[in-house]
Amino acid sequence: MPATVIVGAQWGDEGKGKIVDLLAQDSDLVCRYQGGPNAGHTIVVGEETYKIRAVPSGIIRGKPSAIGAGCVIDPAVLFAELDDLEARGHRTAGLVFVSGNAHLIMPWHVALDGARERKLGNLQIGTTRRGIGPAYADKATRIGIRVQDVLDPKILRAKIELAIAEKNVWLERVYGLEPFDPAEVVATYEGYAVRLRPYVADTSLLVDRALREGKRVLFEGAQGTLLDLDHGTYPFVTSSSPIAAGAAVSFGIGPNRIDEVLGVSKAYVTRVGEGPFPSEIEGPAQERVRELGGEFGTVTGRERRCGWLDLVALRYAVRLNGMTSLALTKLDVLSTFAELPVCVRYRLPDGSETEEFPAHQSDFHHCRPVFETLQGWEEELEGPALPEAALGYVRFVGGALGVPVTLVGTGQARDAVLALS
């Protein structure tokens, strides 16, 4: 697996951090390709819990870790994370590489994200309010500020003044908020420059060289397939490209350099924020899954909505990502259920049924899940082999998707992962 992408196959929070942590052991470089501090990858190492938001999870294994051009960076969050890692004994200097082309989250992005959500009221997207959408929007409008801009005080000042002139009008007139003082923002970001400078690197060249030398490169996605800006459940999506192809775009390598795509899915589904969710559990079982799975957001602490496994959505994720294998995480969360519904088809408003993800939003918004009920195993997942019924559940998923399930998560601990052959 010279170049492998690890991609979220659902709406994020699939447990990618843990899988990256596992595969990072045999990797030479770990690359985060999109998103920003909206992500929160949780890794449990013995008594220590790491909640990583900006730096690729590979850093916990002491692996060189790169942040690609497709990411957005909130310097304050990044530095706090680097400080925390250093304080816990993880070296970051010379190991963390940040693309000069990555965009910075500015204070007005955070202010605008929150203000827009408040204004949308019950039409809100339910964002993490970390400034993600506004930062990517400015990147696309070409008034964004990039990592490399902070390295040149003249460029930095000019870009901040240009952006702020426009943002302050929005903040004051549209949302009735306080304007930002350009001089203050310039001073803050000039301060960041000192810390950022040693980490800035040409991450495209870095990856290209690593691959030419036959090194193993792991690309780590954040969020998930159904939150993809182009192919997800728009507008209830994030503003970047979590799908596997996003790795090539972000790191500036050809798509033919990617060898393997490992999708990560929970044994059930969760979703944070608003938007349609066909297999969402009705009744008290939802609460039960949430409690058993600890389904509360890493970044925002919000309750995650919980659903039964949705094979229609997963089949879509197989297609969009070119998935070559699947990791099924948190299987242990289902251990106390006698019966496990799995969504195998959607029933569309016209009464027809389909195994394929609807291309039209109205079909998706109004479809109903068709469940097949599998037998539970009702025992804990301990030891090197899965109980018969648990294996049956895993095989059912792999068979329905036509993708081998190669890893199964059986508990919180770092080593609670079974490799299946």
Contacts with Mg ion by CB under 5 A lie at 13, 40, 298
Q: Is 112 in the site for ligand IMP (CB under 6 A)?
A: no
Site for ligand IMP (CB under 6 A): which residue of 144, 242, 246, 273? 273
Residue 147 binding partner per list ligand IMP, Mg ion, none, with a CB distance cut-off of 5 to 8 Å that depends on partner kind: none
Q: Which stretch binds ligand IMP (CB under 6 A): 26-34, 87-95, 184-192, 231-239?
A: 231-239
Q: Considering beta carbons, is residue 167 or 216 the nearer one to ligand IMP? A: 167
CB of residue 39 to Mg ion, shortest distance in Å: 6
Phi, psi of 194 (to 5 degrees): -60, -40
Distance (Å, whole) CA 323 – CA 128: 28
- Tokens coding 21: 């942590």
- Tokens coding 285: 């079982």
Q: Specify the DSSP class assigned to residue 42.
A: E
Q: Is 12 in the site for ligand IMP (CB under 6 A)?
A: yes
Amino acid code (one letter) for 5: V
Q: Are 24 and 47 in contact (CB under 8 A)?
A: no
The contact pattern for ligand IMP, residues 244-263, with x = CB under 6 A and - = no contact, is --------------------
Residue 206 binding partner per list Mg ion, ligand IMP, none, with a CB distance cut-off of 5 to 8 Å that depends on partner kind: none
DSSP for 359-382, written as a single string: SSHHHHHH-EEEEEEEEP--S---
Q: Is 228 in the site for ligand IMP (CB under 6 A)?
A: no
Number of H helices, E strands in the chain: 12, 19
CB of residue 40 to Mg ion, shortest distance in Å: 4
The residue from 21, 41, 113, 138 that is catalytic is 41
Q: Which stretch binds ligand IMP (CB under 6 A): 55-63, 126-134, 149-157, 366-374?
A: 126-134
CB of residue 392 to ligand IMP, shortest distance in Å: 29
- The residue sitting closest to ligand IMP, measured at its beta carbon, is 273
> By C-alpha distance, which of 43, 92, 86 is closest to 64?
92
Distance (Å, whole) CA 123 – CA 136: 21
> By C-alpha distance, which of 13, 97, 118 is closest to 54?
97
CB of residue 222 to ligand IMP, shortest distance in Å: 6
Site for ligand IMP (CB under 6 A): which residue of 3, 9, 13, 146? 13
Q: What is the dihedral of CA 73, 76, 79, 81, to 10 degrees?
A: -80
CB of residue 297 to Mg ion, shortest distance in Å: 7
Q: Is 126 in the site for ligand IMP (CB under 6 A)?
A: yes
Q: Is 132 in the site for ligand IMP (CB under 6 A)?
A: yes
Q: Is 227 in the site for ligand IMP (CB under 6 A)?
A: yes
> By C-alpha distance, which of 240, 44, 207 is closest to 130?
240
The answer to whether residue 366 is catalytic is no
Site for ligand IMP (CB under 6 A): which residue of 20, 59, 272, 309? 272
Q: Are 338 and 311 in contact (CB under 8 A)?
A: no
3-state SS assignment for residue 310? strand
The answer to whether residue 41 is catalytic is yes
Number of residues that bind ligand IMP (CB under 6 A): 21
Q: Which stretch binds ligand IMP (CB under 6 A): 222-230, 323-331, 338-346, 405-413?
A: 222-230
DSSP for 240-253, written as a single string: S--STHHHHHHHT-
Q: Is 114 in the site for ligand IMP (CB under 6 A)?
A: no
Q: Is 133 in the site for ligand IMP (CB under 6 A)?
A: yes
Distance (Å, whole) CA 407 – CA 394: 10
Q: Considering beta carbons, is residue 222 or 244 the nearer one to ligand IMP? A: 222
Which residues, 6+ apart, have CB-to-CB distance to 69 below 8 Å?
A: 99, 101, 102, 203, 204, 250, 251, 252
Distances, alpha carbon 162 to alpha carbons 144, 155, 156, 178, in Å? 10, 11, 10, 18
Rounded to 5°, angle at Cα 114 from 111 and 119: 120
Residue 57 binding partner per list Mg ion, ligand IMP, none, with a CB distance cut-off of 5 to 8 Å that depends on partner kind: none
Could you give the residue numbers annotated as active site? 13, 41
Q: By the criterion CB under 6 A, which residues form the site for ligand IMP?
A: 11-13, 38-40, 125-128, 130, 132-133, 222-223, 227, 236, 238-239, 272-273
